[in-house]
Structure 1
């Protein structure tokens, strides 16, 4: 199975159910349907079609990581930011960061590789995943994230993400300077 909406019913929470929940909470967002995006390079091919003229956007890369003590992290960074796991671990005060397996990703965030997104904290908050966000998100008008599948993207504001996190019991930890 891939991370597209074709297989969303095999997830703990489907993309459709998440979008319905966002609607019920009164969250404002724009929804885009596109080819499955597996990499930042794939995303760059479709992002310009999602942008509103004059709008600043936070375009992301999302990393599911574990530390030496088996704690789980979802780190959302600007898509063009270079990542050094050793430096990232030092900034977070944790050691031995490595990428989590596909099985753990499904278990802890309820998604498949290619669909990692802050919106997966709808599952991750209950599993004790720590969410880390790049401060560059504060500079953007909108943030672009996958709603649990990689052939859809939502554009929301940081304020709306904070409202969502309030509903699901998640917190934003801001990435310290690297």
Structure 2
């Protein structure tokens, strides 16, 4: 039976993207991940699932975990109406994910390419990144360039943003 996690690995293998897999206790926040002390020496980034004020546009924001994303400034930067966190129901409907497991890997489930990806431009400076494979009891590490390859395969609109 195909699981949320196995679906991710099938795509990564089809794209020839190498990754390292780490299992751990369930984590729902960056603080919880960093408390695990996995000593990966790679960047953990936050994944924020946002919507505009009308609720007709959804954004997956990938941001350096040490930064705080100002949604007002971000909305202005991308020319959007006010941004706020999308509901758990919207997260499930658009990315097939549960709270605490938000990840760009959820784009596999966005068949209509409705979610726009906003990437903190500082992430592109990283050699490797760590993220969830659509469940929060596992983390995978891959090269940032391979994350970009995965995003191109997904086909969602991607925009780089400046998050101070």
TM-score above 0.5, yes or no: yes
SS at structure 2 position matched to 1:59: strand
* CA RMSD, 1 decimal: 1.9
User: What is the aligned partner in structure 1 of residue 82 from structure 2?
Assistant: 96
Correspondent of 1:135 among 95, 109, 121: 121
Give the corresponding residue for 2:59. 73
Q: 1:91 touches 1:177 (CA, 8 Å); kept in 2?
A: no
What residue number does 1:35 align with?
25
* Contiguous gaps of at least 5 residues in structure 1: 1-7, 52-56
Task: Please give the secondary structure, in 1, of the residue aligned with 2:36.
Answer: helix
Q: Aligned equivalents of 2:111 and 2:157: distance in 1?
A: 8
Q: SS where residue 167 of structure 1 aligns?
A: helix
Q: Matched residues in 2 for 1:85 and 1:115: separation? A: 21
Please list, as runs of the form range in 1=range in 2, the aligned pairs for 1:80-159 lying within 5 A after superposition: 80-124=66-110, 126-159=112-145
Q: 1:165 aligns with which of 134, 148, 151?
A: 151
- Specify every segment of 5 or more residues in structure 2 that has no aligned partner in the other structure, as ranges: none
SS of residue matched to 1:156? strand
Instruction: Work out the number of aligned pairs and report it.
Output: 163
1:54 aligned residue:
none
User: 3-state SS of the aligned residue for 2:72?
Assistant: helix
Partner of 1:17: 7
The alpha-carbon distance between structure 1 residues 171 and 29, as it changes in their structure 2 partners (threshold 3 A), is: farther
Determine which structure has the larger strand proportion and give its number: 2
- TM-score, length-normalised on structure 1? 0.83
